[in-house]
Structure 1
Amino acid sequence: MASPRLGEPGTRYALNTPALILDLDALERNVARMAEAMRQAGRGLRPHAKSHKSVRIARAQIEAGAVGICCATLDEAEIMASAAIPGILVTSPIATAPKIARLVELARQAPDTMIVVDDPRTVEALSAAARRGGVTLRLLVDIELGFGRTGVVSAEAAEHLARAIHADPFLQFCGLQAYGGHLQHAADHEERVALCRRAHAFISAIVRHLGALGLPPAMVTGGGTGSHAIDAAEGPFTEIQAGSYVFMDAEYRAVSYAKDTAWPFENALFVQTAVISAHGAGTVTTDAGTKSFALNGPKPPIATPRFAGAAYDYAGDEHGRVRAGPGGALPGLGELIECVVPHCDPTVVLYDHFCCVRQDRLVDIWPVDARGRR
């Protein structure tokens, strides 16, 4: 992608649309605020790279004090390892022979890499692969908190896996992962606190159970952007896995941070789109449709102040529709507007690049490094 006059005034508005806009000033403040919050709470921070898939952002998080980086996939982990990002944790179990072989090579390249497990058959397969490859694999037992996705559901099941890992000379028991995706978006703060406390009690019971057996988990990792403050203040976690805070999408804006308290993080990620037709009554058509936004979140709020009262909707794969609010203005033909991304993670993967801006200036273009499959 060509760089249109980087650093010159107005270049934020000289892009091919739709474009993924990253406000670097807001991003940097978000990274610093989360890092400081975890320092104040005495917790580690291992932010989730699935939100940004960016080596540059991961490096900024490490430089701000993060203990490592979480990755949802081996693809992400391999990209981060190739850039010498330390402390990689793959947060989803793997079960197929090709991926297990890739994990062994990843562990050879980056020996501090960790991965979660929730099934004794996976432990056996990883042990055999580690033995053949002459590496040690570092494993965490994955705990299920009611989301119904991955993880064991009892202290006894966690014990069975921890014992098997601890007894194996090619495996290392590193601790527990306990992530509840359903906890992150409980909109009411008091409800979210209650749900988190229930999860904390379950995790703590497993920690005590393993400790009594001589298998105390050195690491308990989990939490996310929606629960980070609750988990850091009173949970059993040694570290927090928040990820979306770097961008703050519309989905999280719909969640109450705390009673009478605003979110400490700013919207930093936007989709810029242009009006391509203005013949409708009270509406105009843009060039950003369902191929430009993640669809598993709310409709994109318009961030451009002059049109903040208008509503954005989808009008097809390549088209969007802006409807004027009561007495509000509409953008004209060829005019640009920017929308807060609905859900940051799956929006990022729709683009090859971040267009990095400071105020009205395009200052850099960063690749979405871990986009796609290898």
Structure 2
Amino acid sequence: MDDRALHSSLIGQQGSRAALNTPALVLDIDALDRNIARMAELTRAAGIGLRPHAKTHKSVDIGRRQIAAGAVGLCCAKIGEAEVMVDGGIGGVLITSPVAAPGAVARLAALAGRADGLMAVVDDPEVAARTDHALADAGARLDVIIDVDPGIRRTGVASPDDAVALARAIAALPNLRWRGVQFYCGSQQHIASYADRKAAMTGLTDYLKQVIAALAEAGFVAEIVTGAGTGTHRIDIDLGVFTELQAGSYVFMDKQYLDCDLADAPEPPFEVSLSVDARVVSANHAALVTIDSGYKSLSTDGGSAAVQRGAAPDTMFAFMGDEHAALIAPDIGTRLRPGDPVSLTVPHCDPTVNLYDFYHVVRGDTLIEMWPVSARGRAR
């Protein structure tokens, strides 16, 4: 049975969260909305745009709430995500990874013909020409952003001179319009210390300024400077170069970001709104219980999950295979029994969300809605 068949009858029943079959992806709607409002207000007060990254939530429902709160659009990592968001009625989508394969370029051109305000990044003149040709065949035009490599060597032009050369190549293509640059410093997002993260971003932003200046000197003035993430959002606002932020994980918060000082403050600026609800399935040892959430239920690239409720916060979590994990603490096997619920803060929210078909949206302990993970698996 799928999630709707299992759980739709629980919607609106007081305390129905406790009746969910586990593991289940659970979303606290009030915390979510407060997080959306806080980031919207931060960027509004700074006089810059917010184009949140939908690779985090992959949800048309959440994207609509972000747009309603003032976001100028959404970012998508892949063409498949963008197709879902556009078909869900969301405009202003920016595809933040280069679209290069011929089949994907053809889909991009087709999407440009029906999407409001679609943009995509480019980092290669040959791919820009391929895209222009596909747009001509589709009878469409597309705004593009030059992706600038901040040193990750993943995507992006490698120097200011390369950025200028690409801008000149784009200017010669009739179906492309250059709008600005993207600069996403992914390696810096999870530097734990605020001071260390700020020092790293200050140096990288100086390089970004060189790229922008070289483009301007060549006659290409960047209208859009887009980038940043949840880890650097406050720093990037203060440095004052970005015209819009791409932060995504702030809507949920995960253990990776909770382990960072995001705002040079004792408490994180955003609340944990996302959890995976699990249950104890075995409790035959005094210091260990087994729960029903393992590698298939939680991402493994961001370390371990953390207990959110149902056991002490300092309870140790350890993966025990595809289907199971252990919770380890003195006497936990005498305090928790098979069937008892626990809620987990996920290690890394983006890939964890991609493991599920639905969000179980709760207010307090009551299931109030179920939202599909609309772009689940749309990685191509």
User: Which TM-score tier does this pair reach, normalised by the shorter chain?
Assistant: over 0.9
**Residues 244 and 344 in structure 1, CA contact (< 8 A), matched pair in contact too:** yes
Q: Tell me the distance in 2 between the aligned counterparts of 1:223 and 1:328.
A: 44
Give per-residue Cα distances to partners, 1:59-85, cap 9 Å, x unaligned: 000000000000001111000000110
Q: 2:247 aligns with which of 217, 242, 251?
A: 242
- Cα 1:326/1:186, change in 2 over 3 Å: farther
- Please name the residue that 1:44 is paired with: 49
1:255 to 2:222 alignment: no
Give per-residue Cα distances to partners, 1:77-113, cap 9 Å, x unaligned: 0000001101000000011110000001100010421
Superposed, 1:112-191 pairs within 5 Å as: 112-191=117-196
Shift of residue 269, structure 1, vs aligned partner: 0.5
Q: Tell me the distance in 1 between the aligned counterparts of 2:285 and 2:68.
A: 50
User: Letter of the aligned partner of 1:88 in structure 2?
Assistant: V
TM-score (structure 2 length as normaliser)? 0.96
User: Letter of the aligned partner of 1:124 in structure 2?
Assistant: A
1:340 to 2:355 alignment: no
The runs of 5 or more residues in structure 2 that have no matched partner are none
Q: 1:227 aligns with which of 222, 226, 232?
A: 232
- Please name the residue that 1:10 is paired with: 15
1:78 to 2:61 alignment: no
Secondary structure in structure 1 of the residue aligned to 2:284 = coil
- Please name the residue that 1:27 is paired with: 32
Identify which range, 166-175 or 13-22, moves more after superposition: 166-175
Secondary structure in structure 2 of the residue aligned to 1:362 = strand
Q: Tell me the distance in 2 between the aligned counterparts of 1:65 and 1:258.
A: 22
1:103 to 2:108 alignment: yes
User: Letter of the aligned partner of 1:76 in structure 2?
Assistant: E
- Please name the residue that 2:221 is paired with: 216
Q: 2:270 aligns with which of 238, 244, 265?
A: 265
1:292 to 2:297 alignment: yes
**Residues 274 and 335 in structure 1, CA contact (< 8 A), matched pair in contact too:** yes
Q: Tell me the distance in 2 between the aligned counterparts of 1:231 and 1:62.
A: 21
Q: Tell me the distance in 2 between the aligned counterparts of 1:47 and 1:31.
A: 10
- Cα 1:163/1:330, change in 2 over 3 Å: farther
Same amino acid, percent of matched pairs: 46
Q: Tell me the distance in 1 between the aligned counterparts of 2:263 and 2:334.
A: 34
Shift of residue 164, structure 1, vs aligned partner: 1.1
- Cα 1:328/1:238, change in 2 over 3 Å: farther
TM-score (structure 1 length as normaliser)? 0.97
Secondary structure in structure 2 of the residue aligned to 1:95 = coil
**Residues 300 and 340 in structure 1, CA contact (< 8 A), matched pair in contact too:** yes
Identify which range, 126-135 or 225-234, moves more after superposition: 126-135
Q: Tell me the distance in 2 between the aligned counterparts of 1:265 and 1:172.
A: 36
Q: Tell me the distance in 2 between the aligned counterparts of 1:178 and 1:90.
A: 13
- Cα 1:305/1:5, change in 2 over 3 Å: closer
Q: 1:362 aligns with which of 362, 367, 378?
A: 367
Secondary structure in structure 2 of the residue aligned to 1:4 = helix
User: Letter of the aligned partner of 1:196 in structure 2?
Assistant: M
User: Letter of the aligned partner of 1:286 in structure 2?
Assistant: I
CA RMSD of aligned residues (A): 1.4
Superposed, 1:194-209 pairs within 5 Å as: 194-209=199-214
**Residues 148 and 157 in structure 2, CA contact (< 8 A), matched pair in contact too:** yes
Secondary structure in structure 2 of the residue aligned to 1:138 = strand
Shift of residue 330, structure 1, vs aligned partner: 4.0
